[in-house]
Amino acid sequence: MSPKRLEDMYDAVIVGAGAAGLSAALGLLRSPEITDLKEQGIEPKILVVSKLQPLRSHTGSAEGGIAASLGNIESDDWHWHYYDTIKGGDWLVDQDAAKLLAEYAPETVINLERQGVAFSRTEDGHIAQRRFGGHTRDFGGEPVKRAAYAADRIGHQILHTLWQQCVAQGVEFAEEWYVTDLVLTEDHSRAAGIVALDTHTGKIQAIHARNVLIATGGAGRLFHTTSNSWDLTGDGMALALAAGLQLEDIEFVQFHPTGLAHTGILLSEAARAEGGILRNADGEAFMERYAPEHKDLAARDVVSRSIMAEIDAGRGVADPKDPDGPKDCVWLDMTGIDPKRMAQVLPQVVETIEQYANLDPTKDLVPIKPTAHYTMGGLPITTDGEVYRWNGTHHTVVDGLFAAGECSCVSVHGANRLGGNSLLDACLFGTRSGHTIAARIAENPVDSPMADDADDELLTSAVDQAAGVRAHELEELLQGSTIAEQSENGDATGENAYALMARLGSVMERALAVRCSADTIASALEQLNTRIKPAVEILHAHDKTAAFNQEVTAIWEVQHLTELAEAVLRASDARHESRGSMRRLDFPERDDEHFLAHSMVDKHGSVEFKPVVITDYPPKKREY
């Protein structure tokens, strides 16, 4: 689906159509301000641009639950959720943001239910809830059932519901358009719009907008083994870097403990919430040693490190598909779960194991290893979704630029995200961003007869200039196919975008997967800058056709990934401590004196640190 025509100017353009982008669109359109405008006969000009057809967005792969202190199964309190979120993030959490997350979580989930999300139910008809790692009662006490779920397909339910609601609201989509540029005014103080490739026609499009929201998801494709979709190439984060903005806490990448061996496919935390147990080669339920109280439902970073410790100690197992291969997995034992219960609440987990491992989880042990799963850092935003720049002492908001979801960092996840908090973050802060944009639109709507369009020419000129540059680059990429035809290997180096993505993923995995050190980081930077980047710079398409040329978008994706990889490595190198998902072998202890602060990295690799907002819970030792 593509727009019949592009408007000369939009009130707002939303980039990304997962839970965050769709929530922002709905929050905007349902706001009192926009309702008032419509009553006056003024229709807001809104466009949602998506790299994919929206129902293919990665939100649909979320399995286990969305966290909220509903108290439907056990007594719960949002203050406990608030504390757990801070502790889970190893105190690198801005507590003003975490407080909003926890306090408004029940409202967010209930609103999703009212829009049509088909949650699993208790016998008396309430939304069902299950345990998830790191969620407790009484400020770190016993585990509590806080994750609202829909079997193990909650993301699918939420994505479909939000999309249907957007269609009902008449939201206009530009589907399968690849955004190549985030355009700011010359002084970088204001958003001007975006540039995108319409993959159906192969045409570069200049999209002018007074407000832009980036909601492009994470960057799991930085790593070889990932639970993320093929399309999560960190585009929004890379666009921000290219536009001269910073990324916050980008060194913190969560590895989910239970990726199906050598596929990276996620086996939901729900499997352990329902009774699954991690075992080593000796059959020992080893999490009892690492997290004696919470065991297999400790925070994800704790479980992932424990798995790697078992493997490093020689107690790993080989993938049954490769019995003579490396012993770099452990077992997930689900045989203690009642088979009928398993089929009812874990259908996707069961299907995944059966189809991709040829195992029966009711009888067989399942090989798993940590898989790159979630990017805790991203574009720095306020609790109203405004993107800002940090100058060492204070932040300056970029006028008209917003972000939401995994590509952003409002810092509710800190150094490690708790399970169930990602969907909540996307829906809650996506909605808040939509409300903020709505208030801005109401002040000066494009379609108003009284609109002040004095600055529109400035915005239009900036976007048109960027589109011209990008169109010329596209032409050069396509002309390169002539060179490719003259080379036996396709190009002068024998490389292509897909092979380079794979090489980059392997380099990043060796450098940063679960643990790292100055040596592994330095080695990765050397390979990135001397081998991968030079190869990326000379990539070109092997076909002259612009329409539906996936190689062109793949080239831009690998460019984005290499730029983002350097930022991740630089930020990792600057943090001389172990915290949350980052385990530095050369700095094994948390260092609150020097690093209880958010990293802020730019495209040049310069890293500054910004204080954490601490209001209610001072840092203390993190134990499970």
- Cβ neighbors of 323 (< 8 A, separation 6 or more) are none
- Predicted confidence (pLDDT) per residue in 355-410, tens digit: 999 999 999 999 999 999 999 999 999 999 999 999 988 999 999 999 999 999 99
Question: Could you tell me if residue 490 is inside a domain?
Answer: no
- The answer to the question of residue 106 being in a domain is no
List of residues 6+ apart from 197 with CB closer than 8 A: 177, 178, 180, 203, 204, 205, 470, 474, 552, 553
What pLDDT score does 491 carry?
A: 47
Does the pLDDT value for residue 490 go beyond 50?
no
Is 361 a member of any domain?
yes
User: What would the pLDDT profile of 563-574 be if each residue is shown by its tens digit?
Assistant: 999 999 999 999
Cα–Cα distance, 223 to 501 (Å, whole number): 9
Write the pLDDT tens digit of every residue in 16-61. Answer: 999 999 999 999 999 999 999 999 999 999 999 999 999 999 999 9
- pLDDT (tens digit, 9 = 90+) per residue, 278-292? 999 999 999 999 999
Q: For 508-550, what is each residue's pLDDT tens digit?
A: 999 999 999 999 999 999 999 999 999 999 999 999 999 999 9
Res. 448 pLDDT band, cuts 50 70 90: confident
**pLDDT interval class at 492 (50, 70, 90):** very low
What is the pLDDT at residue 452? 77
Q: What is the pLDDT of residue 481?
A: 58
How much is the pLDDT for 451?
74
- For the chain, the residue count is 624
List, in sequence order, the alpha helices (H) in 259-381: 270-273, 287-290, 300-312, 339-345, 347-357
Give the pLDDT confidence of 110-162 residue by residue, as tens digits.
999 999 999 999 999 999 999 999 999 999 999 999 999 999 999 999 999 99
Catalytic residue among 300, 417, 579, 590: 300
Q: Which domain holds residue 258?
A: 253-374
Asked if residue 488 has pLDDT above 80, the reply is: no
Among residues 432, 372, 400, which one has the least CA distance to residue 58? 372
Over the chain, what is the mean pLDDT?
Answer: 95
Q: Is residue 521 part of a domain?
A: no
Residue 352 lies in a domain: yes
In the chain, the number of structural domains is 1
Torsion from C-alpha of 298, 303, 305, 307, nearest 10 degrees: 150
CATH of the domain at 341: 3.90.700.10
Instruction: With respect to residue 109, please indicate whether it lies within any of the assigned structural domains.
Output: no
pLDDT at 482 over 70: no
Show the tokens assigned to 334. 């689900």
**pLDDT > 80? residue 1:** no
Q: Is residue 257 part of a domain?
A: yes
Is 300 assigned a catalytic role? yes
Is 291 among the domain residues? Answer: yes
Residue 167 has pLDDT above 50, yes or no: yes
**121 Cβ contact list (under 8 Å, min separation 6):** 127, 128
Please check the confidence at residue 301 and state whether its pLDDT lies above 60.
yes
Round to whole Å and give the CA distance between 71 and 247. Answer: 36
